[in-house]
Amino acid sequence: MQRVLMFLVGFLTMLAWLPTPAVAAPEAQTPSCQFVLGFATLHRLIPAIVGNCLANESHSGNGDGLQPTEHGLLVWRKADNFTAFTDGFRTWVNGPFGIQMRLNTQRFDFEKNAKVSMTQAITFTPPTSASRQVSGSCFTSSLAAIRKDAFRCMSDNAIMDPCFTIPGNALAVICVPNPLDPSTFVQMNLTQPLPATEPVSPPSHPWFLELADGTVCNFLTGATGAVNGQRINYGCSDGLDVVGFPAPGTVQTVQEVRLAPLSTTVLKTFTVDVKTVWQ
């Protein structure tokens, strides 16, 4: 027994003198993305709102800078050189008065000064299907899009205009509230044949506008009002209205007005560059 104890003591003493295995230090983590320039400034000013980056800044086809973050999207707009962050519902704009927050559907007055080098005209090509389907019928040619393949239709009590025919499919049309947002497209499965088309002259007006500040505007097909003798032709996503039609030119412009509630009294008028028109 004594020999066993002496052996254990000796063994444990030997273990105590053995060198301790080295533990590898954790490798330094190289950031997979970073904020630079205006995005770095905005992140520094409102870090909790912006959150960490998920990728580096990239550029869209129109030259705008985009960078996704944990909480939304950073945007640098080439048209007006302002940097902003959106969480999908609200937008924080770093403008001439510092950081100001607004809803995505609103615009500050200074944003109306955005400029474009030219207005792009698009003849819309409807898709062959949509993610949402309804049943309904069309009763006349479109009042919004002056085209042979566009109709004014109804599903239950909702009027949809314009709705476009689908090549090779006489049993449905595609209704398009916003050509920039495919999630708004609706396939209407027809319960009746399409009405006879009416003679169509060359497009007299675009049915959808995108302004330089990102506002989008739909042609109003129902009764509206008049401002200084001009019809209120478009309702816009920023809550304002467009009177008349786009002025022709390499850069088309529109007169956008802010009206008093339930009135045609003009509170403010903006001359705004048009980025894109859809016909």
Task: List, in sequence order, every beta strand (DSSP E) within 78-168.
Answer: 82-86, 90-95, 98-103, 120-122, 132-141, 150-155, 158-166
**pLDDT score at 31:** 61
- The domain spans of the chain are 37-104, 123-190, 208-278
Q: Provide φ and ψ at 77, rounded to 5°.
A: -95, 120
Q: Provide φ and ψ at 104, rounded to 5°.
A: -60, -25
Report, in this order, helix, strand and coil percent for the chain, each rounded to 5: 15, 40, 45
**pLDDT score at 30:** 44
pLDDT < 50 stretches in the chain: 1-30
For the segment 220-239, what is each residue's pLDDT rounded down to a tens digit?
999 999 998 999 999 999 99
**pLDDT score at 14:** 34
**pLDDT score at 20:** 39
For the segment 11-51, what is each residue's pLDDT rounded down to a tens digit?
333 333 334 344 444 443 346 899 999 999 999 999 999 99
**pLDDT score at 80:** 82
